[in-house]
Structure 1
Amino acid sequence: MCRAVDTVTKESVLLREVRFLDEQNAVPANLVREISLLKEIKSRYILRLLNVVTSDRWNGLCLVYESLNYNLRALLSNPRGRALSLDIIKIYLHQILCAVAFLHSHKIVHRDLKPENLFVDLHKHILKVGDLGLGRALGGSFEITPNDPTGSRYMAPELLFNTKEYSCEVDIWSVGCIFAEMTKMYLFFNASIMGLPNEETWPGVNEVHPFLHCYTKTEPQDLRSLLPLGPDGFDLILRMLCMYPKGRIRAIDALEHPFFDSIPLSQRQQ
């Protein structure tokens, strides 16, 4: 995305150019999906789509979104940036969960949660979730498609092991990965840190993945030695990064976790 100024309103906006590569000028399915979802849902935690315009210079569309200062990736990877305080991490994480809880309440799975798709206003400490191009409306579970979601560092174990069906729990795992990354201010987390799943950490995993024994066995690392979090923070992140999908905390329940008790009530309204 790039920044621009709306010539009518004089407001700063974000532009996303989408070029059509096929000869028939067909609008990509993921773009149709994203526009449809953004027209259907309205939340202060979801980046607003302001307009969709065609280009006279090239074959495609331009999506116009509201503008925030940074995406979270730029913030976390800035070598001159300061580490996020625990209070700011709580505020950002709470807003991510508000967005995810809202999507899940509308039977929508984002499927591509990562810092690049989270947009931040540094001055007001506002965070919004963007890029619903891989979002799916739930009518039960759905199958994985070849060029599927999130970069592997934010991908839930059931996706990494090519589980045929999955649901809202994949978003919770991604949020847990982002939570871990915010505490360290650099990209360090991946599923291997949690070790190879087994019947103890994921009941029934051998039935779901009969070839699991072919993978190299790895032991989980101790997150307490890796992340600067207190007891409440560790409890929350371990509930998010639970190997067993059905064992993960729901977004709506995570919002009530004691980890967020220090956030003012005015900033905890959903």
Structure 2
Amino acid sequence: MEKYEKLEKVGEGTYGKVYKAKDKATGQLVALKKTRLEMDEEGVPPTALREVSLLQLLSQSLYVVRLLSVEHVDSPSKRKAAAPAEAGGAGAGGGGDQGQGGPAAAAGGKPMLYLVFEYLDTDLKKFIDSHRKGPSPRPVPPALVQNFLYQLLKGVAHCHSHGVLHRDLKPQNLLVDKEKGILKIADLGLGRAFTVPLKSYTHEVVTLWYRAPEVLLGSSHYSIGVDMWSVGCIFAEMVRRQALFPGDSEFQQLLHIFRLLGTPTEKQWPGVTALRDWHVFPQWEPQNLARAVPSLGPDGVDLLSKMLIYDPAERISAKAALDHPFFDSLDKSQF
């Protein structure tokens, strides 16, 4: 890790600490993610190898944060070996709930893996906040909402085409390059094989605002629809500059959703009443979705409504969403 100069700690994710750092040789800014995925006796665990190769494959998309390399640091800095990314490592968000990075790891008794990602200066949450708060509150320009949503869908379609669900899409996980007007998906939690964490390992409560109703209702099987629901919530938030469904518990989250979209029925969503956490909920009638996003035109409201369909099997896919008339006025040659 001699190659990098750590500048500041920029966060803690599900995977461990994240530092902003500089590549001493090139001056390039990078994000270093220290992973909790420990080596075993034979070296890098095969799950980690699979995750890293998948992450590299995914990061070939312009709309996914690029994994530049994986650095392998021996225990108490005996030797330093820089493994090129092909050689292994842990997925970003790697290992999720596998291995808790116990005292041995913390004490440096085990080799560490660092994932080196490109660094972007802000995220979509901060970007939206800057339009909502501060000296000059102003809407996010409609053309930019359209542009960012298109890029987000490109990134999600790319992940889904490789069989990877993100499962935790939210504005904090979407990094933005303001100068270039580029949005990229970060924090692909590949290691969390189909479990959605309720608390991050630093014990912060994980936000539920973007979580699909099938996950909130305890469905054991879910698919690309979970990400598309999140995309819909993010789309609405760019337009409104505030969250569409800001629940502070799983139950409250469902009530927020049901109040706007109506309490789901078996007719709309076959099998919903058989889900593990289904209760007899108050019966709300669906409200007019356009009223929740007053500045969005009819095409935008139509696309949003297709992302927020209750039955996950009926929800629009990322690939189909890219062809929606909402994007007809967008110059797609730039992507």
- Structure 1 92/10 Cα, relative in aligned 2: closer, same or farther at 3 Å? same
Shift of 1:22: 11
Aligned counterpart in structure 1 of residue 317 of structure 2, from 250, 253, 259: 250
Shift of 1:124: 1.1
Unaligned stretches of 5+ residues in structure 1: 137-141
For 2:118 and 2:268, the matched residues in 1 are separated by: 42
Partner of 1:139: none
For 1:147 and 1:210, the matched residues in 2 are separated by: 17
Partner of 2:64: 46
Partner of 2:250: none
SS of corresponding position for 2:148: helix
For 2:46 and 2:189, the matched residues in 1 are separated by: 9
For 1:85 and 1:69, the matched residues in 2 are separated by: 20
* CA offsets 1:226-249 (integer angstroms, 9 cap, x no match): 212110000000000000111101
Aligned counterpart in structure 1 of residue 171 of structure 2, from 110, 115, 118: 115
For 1:152 and 1:43, the matched residues in 2 are separated by: 27
8 Å contact 1:33–1:135 — kept in the other structure? no
Partner of 1:18: 35
Pairing 1:253-264 to 2, within 5 Å after superposition: 253-264=320-331
Partner of 1:67: 119
* CA offsets 1:179-222 (integer angstroms, 9 cap, x no match): 0111112234255233331123313323x337634334444443
Report the TM-score when normalising by structure 1: 0.84
**Aligned-residue identity in percent:** 43
One-letter amino acid matched to 1:53: E
8 Å contact 1:196–1:220 — kept in the other structure? yes
When structure 1 is superposed on structure 2, of 188-197 and 122-131 the one drifting more is 188-197
Pairing 1:147-166 to 2, within 5 Å after superposition: 147=198, 151-166=207-222
Pairing 1:91-240 to 2, within 5 Å after superposition: 91-134=147-190, 144=195, 147=198, 151-190=207-246, 191=254, 192-193=256-257, 194-206=261-273, 208-209=274-275, 212-227=278-293, 228-240=295-307
For 2:190 and 2:26, the matched residues in 1 are separated by: 30
For 1:35 and 1:165, the matched residues in 2 are separated by: 25
CA RMSD of aligned residues (A): 3.1
Unaligned stretches of 5+ residues in structure 2: 1-17, 78-105, 201-205, 247-253
* CA offsets 1:105-157 (integer angstroms, 9 cap, x no match): 11111111111111111111101111112467xxxxx8546659973111111
- Structure 1 27/75 Cα, relative in aligned 2: closer, same or farther at 3 Å? farther
SS of corresponding position for 1:108: coil
Aligned pairs, how many? 261
SS of corresponding position for 1:238: helix
